[in-house]
Amino acid sequence: MGRWRIGVLVSMAFALLAGPAADPVAGPSRNLPGLLRGMVVAQERQAAEAGAQVLREGGTAIDAAVATAFALAVTHPVAGNLGGGGFLLARSANGAAQVYDFRETAPGRARPGMWLRAGRYDQREHHDSLRSVGTPGSVAGLHAAWKAGGRLPWARLVEPARKLAAEGFIVSPTLSDSLKQSLPAFRKHGPTLAVFSRKGRPFEPGERLRQPDLARTLARIQIEGPEDFYRGRTARLLVRMMVKEGGLLRRRDLAGYRVEVRAPLAGTYRGHEVLTVPPPSGGGIALLEMLNTLEGYDLAARGPLTTEGSHLVAEAMRAAYRDRARFVGDPAFAPAMPVERLISKAYAAELRSAIDPQRALRSSLEGFETGEPEHTTHLSVVDREGNAVSLTTTLEDYYGLKRIVPGAGFFLNNEMGDFNAVPGRTDATGMVGTAPNLSRPGARPLSSMSPTLLVKDGGVFLVTGSPGGRTIPNTTLHTILNVVDAGLDAQAAVDAPRFHHQWFPDRVQVEPGARYPPGFLDALRAKGHRVVERETRQGVAQVILVRRGQPSGGADGSRGADSAAVAE
């Protein structure tokens, strides 16, 4: 056995023995009872099982979230990732809460007008080129959360993902379908085609998918942690690709990446404390603004999916998305954001005063100078001690850029597509060009991700979130309304039909094939709403509801067939 292999095994042994430093904010409360069991709800069962096994071994909710997220990078490559970013909201049973912002950042060569060619917007450059790759944050973000609130060794948490990549796993019908859909794009990049096809033939359900390069990358991350990804061999493989093929990322971008630890945005809704993510996500602001607006109406009597109730919900959505477009961006580059005003009860009262209960308003571009695709993933975790994690992560598009890093095996994001396309151009098609979200070196693009926790009587009550691009805050809103106002259980809250309004285009989008109440759509049209059917279902929410110390999971299997809720 060579010296390198011996060194790897020795390093892994020490890594397995060493856990994170103790954190005074992590762990159970002395004043609150624990839960009867822990639970993980995620978009793929093997990943959820990896997290649940960590809970069985005494790991914390953060430990389980880390293990699940790494496993999703293997078994749910459409959105699980090493090469993307996201937000992790963690709340300890003692009440301490933090947001780990590991959103991707723009490379040092980024500029506000970089998507223009001869004065015209170039959509391909913005979304489908190596120039659209932001500095990945996932590995750094998961490690930072583990250092603060983990208990089991880091290498133990990465091991399920490494093993799944090395030994392979059986391809599900859902994964098979998504790989087939993306095969034409994979054919444009030899290294990607070699891994995610069988010599150019699509994977069929029941076949085994192995990812040896990704397994080796995960093994290095087990031993070296983020050092490998941002300064070591993996970093060199990524930069080599960028230099050779015209990307913007360089070694200094990777070496300079930092996770931002932020205080959650906090609000209340009908006696529940609501914790969610702050900018650069606009999702948390929009969610709190909508909840504050709707708190002034009796939705329990009206029902979120009755004609009256849904009209009010749609109008709350319209106003919140307008404010998201106008004001929100990376706080390092848009320090004057009026966050406290936007999430205040007083501002919500102003918004309610403008809503006509009988007639839809019209979206307006007044005050403006004349987004994020849906392939994200979410997971929710609670442990026996009452700690909770809500984590949303993304590659931006379906399989991100649809290109893996040769020799490293992970998909690249195309997250720069979340920056506003054309400075100063905001129009009725949904294009936004406001200043807070323009691409600048080191900036984090505006996101819709909305990992959220509700707290009641001092303990976690609801863990919720969803993928879905701009629909994310509205999907998360639906799960909350369904539980708090409609009194549904976790699974029913996830299964219920949803709808979406995002200010522009000025329309209510409804789900194909959803079972809305009789006359529901016609009644919305009668109030002046333009109602259109989406091409796909809305979001894939993953929810945990805690009642009397007993967690129950709502896995969105009707919209994401591989989703699963797994108890420890």
Residues 435-470: tens digit of each pLDDT: 888 899 999 999 999 999 999 999 999 999 999 999
Q: Is the pLDDT of residue 339 over 90?
A: yes
Contact 38, 383 (CB under 8 A): yes
Write the CA distances from 175 to 208, 379, 388, 393, 561, integer angstroms. 11, 18, 28, 18, 10
d(CA 219, CA 166): 10
pLDDT of residue 119: 84
Does 551 reside within a domain?
no
Q: Is the pLDDT of residue 278 over 90?
A: yes
Does 400 reside within a domain?
yes
Write the CA distances from 38 to 81, 387, 426, 517, 566, integer angstroms. 24, 9, 46, 35, 9
Q: Which run of H or E residues covers position 98?
A: strand 97-101
**Domain region containing 66:** 24-261+375-423
Q: CA dihedral in degrees (475, 478, 484, 490; nearest 10)?
A: -70
Greater pLDDT, 25 or 43: 43
- Could you write out the DSSP letters of every residue in 506-566? -SEEE-TT--PPTTHHHHHHHTT--EEE-SS-----EEEEEETTEEEEEE-TTTSTT-EEE
pLDDT of residue 568: 95
Task: Give the total number of structural domains in the chain.
Answer: 1
* DSSP single-letter state for residue 402: S
Does 110 reside within a domain?
yes
Does 81 reside within a domain?
yes
Q: Is the pLDDT of residue 374 over 70?
A: no
Dihedral sign, CA of 118, 371, 362, 524?
Answer: positive
In the chain, the amino acid numbered 53 is Q
pLDDT of residue 433: 63
**Which of 166-175, 300-309, 319-328, 359-368 has the highest mean predicted lDDT (pLDDT)?**
166-175
Does 310 reside within a domain?
no
pLDDT of residue 32: 58
Residue 63, SS3 per DSSP: helix
Write the CA distances from 395 to 66, 76, 85, 287, 538, integer angstroms. 17, 11, 7, 22, 18
Residue 27's pLDDT band (boundaries 50, 70, 90)?
Answer: very low
Does 141 reside within a domain?
yes
Residue 35's pLDDT band (boundaries 50, 70, 90)?
Answer: very high
pLDDT digits (tens, 9 = 90+) for 49-92: 999 999 999 999 999 999 999 999 999 999 999 999 999 999 99
Residue 143, SS3 per DSSP: helix
- HSE value, Cβ hemisphere, 13 Å, CA-based, for 166: 11
Does 219 reside within a domain?
yes
d(CA 134, CA 447): 13
Residue 20's pLDDT band (boundaries 50, 70, 90)?
Answer: low
What average pLDDT does the structure give for the chain? 91
pLDDT of residue 16: 42
Instruction: Catalytic residue, from 293, 307, 376, 452: name it.
Output: 376
Does 187 reside within a domain?
yes
In the chain, the percentage of residues whose pLDDT exceeds 90 is 80
Instruction: Reply yes or no on whether 276 is catalytic.
Output: no
pLDDT of residue 254: 98
